[in-house]
């Protein structure tokens, strides 16, 4: 994988309107791992794209009535089959972390890249997802000198009590073993 003008090459690009300028575009120093499924516990549809692009129809599922008005995004989504989708260029601030703190620094969206895994906190992630996640992280660390493999965290770690993803099903040891 290569990065050209802050977009990963050879993946799907689905630009989201939900982003803005980073306070310091040179401060990209954290990777945040999330998980998402829409509706909850369902996979393999286009609802995540629709949510991140403000096109989610609240009438398509009862759960969507609660979330269709949200303005959220991530930089990357890795689907169950390993397909990668990028929504926001890496030099821009995606709206993925919300109220958050990492090592004393607040507002993690300002300095992080958000990576969503299609999944739930309780269901194991797929081999394809771990493989693609490793490739994405390797490309990011290679391209952005302010990133490192030592500064990867879960949404639950930067927003404890508010968020639980990527959850107990995410195998951190497996990820770090693959990154070596």
Which residues on adjacent β-strands are paired with residue 116?
34, 77
Q: State both tokens at 67.
A: 């979330």
CB atoms within 10 A of CB 11: 18
Given the residues 21, 106, 116, 135, the one annotated as active site: 116
Using the structure block, give the residue that is written with the tokens 């990011």: 140
Distance from C-alpha of 124 to C-alpha of 145, rounded to nearest angstrom: 31
Q: Is 116 a catalytic residue?
A: yes
Burial classification of residue 24, based on how many CB atoms lie within 10 Å of its CB (0-12 exposed, 13-18 middle, 19 or more buried): exposed
Q: CA 150 from chain center: how many Å?
A: 17
Quick one: CA dihedral 99, 172, 141, 89, positive or negative?
negative
- In DSSP notation, 78-137 reads E-TTS-EEE-S-TTEEES-S-S-EETTEE-GGGTEEEEEEES-SSSPPPHHHHHHHHHHH
List, by residue number, the catalytic residues. 116
């Amino acid at each position: 994988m290569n990065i050209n003008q802050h977009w990963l090459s050879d993946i799907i690009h689905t630009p989201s309107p939900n982003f803005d300028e980073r306070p310091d575009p040179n401060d990209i120093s954290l990777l945040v791992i999330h998980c998402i499924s829409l509706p909850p516990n369902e996979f393999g549809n286009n609802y995540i794209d629709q949510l991140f692009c403000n096109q989610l129809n609240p009438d398509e599922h009862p759960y969507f009535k609660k979330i269709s008005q949200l303005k959220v995004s991530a930089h990357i989504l890795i689907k169950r089959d390993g397909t990668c989708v990028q929504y926001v260029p890496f030099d821009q601030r995606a709206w993925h972390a919300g109220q958050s703190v990492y090592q004393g620094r607040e507002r993690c969206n300002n300095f992080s890249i958000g990576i969503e895994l299609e999944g739930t906190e309780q269901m194991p992630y797929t081999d394809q997802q771990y493989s693609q996640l490793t490739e994405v992280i390797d490309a990011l660390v290679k391209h952005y000198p302010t990133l490192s493999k030592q500064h990867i965290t879960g949404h639950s770690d930067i927003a404890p009590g508010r968020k639980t993803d990527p959850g107990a099903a995410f195998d951190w040891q497996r990820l770090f073993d693959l990154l070596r």
